[in-house]
Amino acid sequence: MADVQAVANQIVENVERVIIGKKQAVQLTVLGLLCQGHILIEDVPGVGKTVLAKSLSKSVGCHFQRIQFTPDMLPSDVTGVSVFNQKTREFEFRHGPIHAQIVLVDEINRATPKTQSALLEAMEERQVTVDGSTYRLGPPFMVLATQNPIEYEGTFPLPEAQLDRFMLRIRLGYASRSEEIEVLDRQQFTHPVDELTQKVTVEELQAAQKAIREIYIDQKVKEYMVDIVRETREHPDVYLGSSSRGALAIYRLCQARAAMFGRDYVLPDDVKALAGAALGHRIIVGPAARIKDVQPEEIVQEILNRLPVPGAQVRG
């Protein structure tokens, strides 16, 4: 697991040259990349959501595309469109911006549900179908979407099916006073993201993505993961709990986190550290709990506090 740990640490350290004081959020983003998952970054404007995506793509040398979602966008603006060539008398496919390795979908909730649905096939099956023809999206493929949780005018809330396709939802939050001063100092002449260099090749990243699947997870820890997910469906404050995709997300993320910290086995602590980010956006709070301003992450934390943690046992 030394190779995976080295790859992860190099990416984290490089991104932290730009994103200051947000180590946990950066680590979660790298974990999502190692798990070949997609990430929803939900936070107020100006905290570094777009810069985080750019820094990540530069660190691994991936083809990066940014899509600015607006209410007048069409699905073809995302996936691409077939254009008739008068010289050849044939239709030619013009690739849309989704045909990249790391795609930043900025303000995803600004587009209509019809345009949002253009991402569903790409995120789940890593392909797009246009005019009956299917086009594969080359690995590694990752969608980082951003949305503003405060401003709801002119927005279209993401449907449950769309939210469920994101492996993680993270928040950056405001920097501390000293961190904001450091941001000012670093950007006095140039933006730090312009000076970032590639630290990991795409081949090394793909090898790390394959290696984390070998991480051992004990049966008791698997049962612990499933119990947490099932509790979200039975909690009195929850209208709709997490799907089985949520359990699989925790499973993969725990493998990646163990490898990032140099272990070849998963601990219950890995599950507890990742459950909130992996399950929070998959939970719909009931009307009564919504009035009391109960947050999904609070429900997940309450479940973690209540469920017994599996004890150690002899391996093999």
CATH code of 234's domain: 1.10.8.80
Q: What is the spatial distance between Cα 198 and Cα 160, in angstroms, rounded to a whole number?
A: 36
Domain total for the chain?
2
**157 and 85 in a common domain:** yes
Range of the domain at 290: 215-316
**222 and 75 in a common domain:** no
Residue 242 CA, chain-centre distance (Å), reads: 16
Q: Of 204, 203, 196, 254, whose CA–CA distance to 225 is shortest?
A: 254
What pLDDT is attached to residue 157?
86
**141 and 238 in a common domain:** no
**31 and 158 in a common domain:** yes
What pLDDT is attached to residue 297?
92
Domain boundary among 160, 184, 214: 214
**257 and 153 in a common domain:** no
Q: Are 143 and 168 in contact (CB under 8 A)?
A: no
Check which CATH number belongs to the domain holding 6 and give it.
3.40.50.300
**237 and 198 in a common domain:** no
Tens digit of each residue's pLDDT (9 = 90 or more) over 14-64 = 999 899 888 999 999 999 999 999 999 988 888 888 899 999 999 998 899
Tens digit of each residue's pLDDT (9 = 90 or more) over 172-201 = 888 889 988 988 888 888 888 888 889 999
In this prediction, the residues of the chain whose per-residue pLDDT falls under 50 are: none
User: Cα separations (Å) of 6 from 113, 121, 171, 193?
Assistant: 40, 32, 25, 21
What pLDDT is attached to residue 141?
92
**32 and 151 in a common domain:** yes
Domain boundary among 214, 234, 258: 214
